[in-house]
Amino acid sequence: GAGVSQSPSNKVTEKGKDVELRCDPISGHTALYWYRQSLGQGLEFLIYFQGNSAPDKSGLPSDRFSAERTGGSVSTLTIQRTQQEDSAVYLCASSLAPGYNEQFFGPGTRLTVL
């Protein structure tokens, strides 16, 4: 596909379970971002991958959150021991290069923690 894809589109889990969210960026895009958006709120930056550099993890809310990007392409955001406050839409975006290029967003994964 031509755009950023994310899977699953919806995820319902029980409190305390681990979840993995996947992002497939646009081919050739070297920068990848994860955000989350709680209901009615703006986007909250989580983590940023830039090529082979160490990721910027400054937005991760706790050590239960982690992300990796394998081979400079697909990224996985993992949330361990999920809590109800983790319920949100998790958005992934990619850009051709870091810096001043527009970001292309995926449709998001809606996570619901019961």
Q: How far is the CB of 16 from another protein (least distance, A)?
A: 28
- Residue 59 vs 72, nearer CB to another protein: 59
User: What sign results for the dihedral spanned by CA atoms 23, 25, 31, 34?
Assistant: negative
- Residue 48 vs 65, nearer CB to another protein: 48
- Residue 71 vs 99, nearer CB to another protein: 99
Surface-to-core class of residue 87, CB atoms within 10 Å of its CB (0-12 exposed, 13-18 middle, 19+ buried): middle
- 54: which DSSP letter? P
Of 47, 7, 48, give the one whose Cα is nearest residue 29: 48
Q: How far is the CB of 81 from another protein (least distance, A)?
A: 27
Give residues in contact with another protein (CB under 8 A).
4, 33, 35, 41-45, 48, 56, 59, 91, 93, 98-100, 102-108
